[in-house]
Chain A
Amino acid sequence: MKARIVSLCIFLLCIPAVCVAGVLFFKERAVSFAGTGIVLLMLAGYFYVYEKRNSQAWELVIVALMSAMSVLGRIVFAFLPSLKPCSAIIILTAVYFGRETGFMVGAFTALVSNFYFGQGGWTPFQMLAWGLTGYFAGMLGKWLARNRVLLLVYSAAIGVFFSLLMDLYTCLWMDGKVIFSRYLVMISSALWVTVSYAVSNVIFTGIFMQPFGRVFRRLCIKYGIGTYHPQEKPSERTELH
């Protein structure tokens, strides 16, 4: 709790500070400076809270396993042009293991997959975008787990959201501020990418929904981990046999 308050205070103080600094130093490109600063601050705040919280060993293992799975997914599905399963995996993990796990899986997927594909200025934006993908999915987890159609709609919507956010990032870099007409041009020229994000999210969520659900439910029932059964309290110690 203390960690949360400290983080919140720093967060609330730092955001205006970054904005002021941006205006002060880089008049023309204040928005891009402030944007980058805020994204970095949000990530730092979230990681700080994560660091201070006591996590069970299995929570770490699940985060690591699912992030590794989505990096692997990016590699093994590479034969399909422009279809990536990462978002679908992040969403499904978040639905079954909650929003914190979802956020971390998203953020780590971006960070670690860029170890292989090259870090860049986009890394923090990608971390935040995928992190939020998982966070929102975790927040809506209760409904998404029950309703398949809703899950598919959510994954399509989040695909569009992801694409718009990355376009916004490109736009920020290009202009240092958002010129609406150029943003529109960007969006329409990247329409194919947006559609492919949404489509691949729907396809992969559709494919993985049942098998991943079975695997996660099995983990929940056999070992008592995860948030799938809200009525059953997950036991603290795990059990074999």
Chain B
Amino acid sequence: MEKLSCKDLSFRYNTNSADTLKNISFSVSGSGVLLVVGKTGSGKSTLLRLMKREISPVGELKGSINILGKAQSELSPLQSACAVAYVSQNPDTQTVTHKVSSELSFALENIGTKPSQILSRVGEMATYFGIEDIYSKPIEQLSGGEKQLCCLCAAAVLSPQILILDEPAAQLDPISSGKLFSVLRRLNSELGTAIIIAEHDPSEIFDMCDSILALDDGKAVFFGSRESFVKAAVNDPVLHGYLPAPTRAALKLSKTVFTVKAAKTLLEDTFGVTDAQPSLSAGKPRTDAALKAESVYYRYDRNSEDIISCLDLTVYSGEVFAAVGSNGSGKTTMLKILGGIIRPWQGKVTVSGRNVRSYKNSALYSGCVAVMPQDPYDLFICQTVGEELDKSNKDNELFKRLCSELSLGPLLDKHPYDLSGGEVQKCALAKLLLTDPKILLLDEPSKGLDPQAKAVLGRMLRKLASEGRAVCIATHDIEFAAEYADRCGLFFNGCIHSAAPSGEFFSYNRFYTTAASRIARSVFPDAVTVSELEKCISGGERR
């Protein structure tokens, strides 16, 4: 039976003249998983919200949406609220109450369930998903991944037949998103809940989805099974970008696989196993340190634990350095210390050969260091982007050059919160570059960006480094780090361990490394990114 189907769906916002969605048809059967892919602004979110009547956007809707065999408008309010659940991207904008326990019972309270029943339903679900440990905690004390898990459970407590997720893992690090997806997998395989999920980076969800809908500019460019998607992707560079690393590697050998395990076996069978160790790059000693931290310690107050302990780090001019590690490990604190925003209680940070403490007033932030916060919107406190940029504008030539380079023209008059994630990233970068900094510190720059925006950002960082600036990023996105960083270091337990050139870093890491490296380890030990792996496969000698 079809749980949800759409026919010839077109939608136009009241404020727009053009249709946002054009003639989209698809269906989700029994307990199917539908993956929706597309660029930012392709209409994914609009489409997903239309499926949930309570929050569907206002506008003109053509075509039909059928849920559980009925037209969407014929469902009773209670049915509609219970049958379809919705989880969106940012867990902070979805939690309503102050505790996990009250958040979980929120939906049941809304539909007037008896208090005694609520507790048994919530308890049963918390036990099933294994979240008893966070059950009585305040939401504020949860990590991002736990928050999103809490949101998912809070939506699933009405035991919905269809679960809609709008980029649920965009803000999460790989480990937490893995946990989230494993819960989704259980919901799907053990309870038969149908899932519709939109993702920028579908590699984790790819092996569990049944069908794929690709949107481009409001049109459905592809709808069909996963296998046919792979076939279609061979000739379509846009669709090709959404394939996960194992599939892309296998496609070079004209095979279709979806997991790292299968791809690894395929490569080993085709090329044979090699004993070669990854090559060590001849690192020549460098002297042009731009930023140096020596045995730095930091804690929030005297009686708490050290968050940063014995951190030693050197970042050189003209390189991109990436500190990788999971969320909540203290990377953000480290960047703030390096940028002189907060002061360590012990240790020394040297910027361009001078102790950070010796910079008076704002001298450190004019032409020396610039820090991009995790949420780039934080940099904008004025009404328009232009106003904000004017504040740090000291050199009109530079301002004009940056505007044209980053094509900021149309964005200048906008309110910062009207910009998309990629756009605000660009504007924030422009604001920082206006001070012409020698050292750039960026906190999770690739968070929440789609692959295209990530590539633009990565190229920009490389260019900045080639101009002789030192760029230091903290990120959980290891694929991004592998692609664009010169050197990487693992941030763990309060300090950076094993900083090394990124090729070497990832090819020697066994667990915390890119999917491509895990696939290619035994065959092409030097391949770290997917494109390197593809090159190796094309040039490799078959057995």
Contact = CB atoms under 8 A, between A and B. Distances in A.
Interface of A: 214, 218, 235, 237-241
Tell me the dominant secondary structure on chain A's binding face.
Answer: loop
Nearest to A57: B96
A130 to B, nearest CB: 22
Interface of B: 13-16, 45-46, 49, 57-59, 383, 415
Contacts of B58: 235, 237-239
A239 B415 contact: no
B57 A240 contact: yes
Give 4 nearest A-B pairs by CB, closest first: A239-B58, A237-B58, A241-B13, A240-B57
Contacts of B16: 241
Contacts of A240: 45, 49, 57
5 contacts: A218-B415, A239-B13, A239-B14, A240-B57, A241-B15
B56 to A, nearest CB: 8
A238 B56 CA distance: 9
A214 B57 contact: no
A3 B474 CA distance: 56
A68 to B, nearest CB: 10
Contact of B383 (A214, A235, A237, A241): A214
Which of B13, B49, B58 is most buried by chain A, counting CB atoms within 10 A of its CB? B58
Given A239-B14, A239-B15, A239-B58, 10 more contacts: A214-B383, A218-B415, A235-B58, A238-B58, A239-B13, A239-B57, A239-B59, A240-B49, A240-B57, A241-B16
Nearest to A238: B58
A214 B58 CA distance: 24
Contacts of B45: 240
A239 to B, nearest CB: 5
Contacts of B15: 239, 241
A214 B16 CA distance: 24
Nearest to B417: A218
A214 B381 CA distance: 12
B415 A241 contact: no
Contacts of B13: 239, 241
Contacts of A214: 383
A186 B464 CA distance: 67
Contacts of B57: 239-241
Contacts of A235: 58
Contacts of A237: 58
Contacts of A241: 13, 15-16, 46, 57
B419 to A, nearest CB: 12
A238 B415 CA distance: 19
Contacts of A238: 58
A236 to B, nearest CB: 9
A3 to B, nearest CB: 18
A239 B415 CA distance: 17
A26 B45 CA distance: 65
Nearest to B14: A239
Nearest to B46: A241
B299 to A, nearest CB: 22
**Residue among A235, A239, A241 with the highest chain B CB neighbour number at 10 A:** A241
A239 B58 CA distance: 6
A240 B41 CA distance: 13
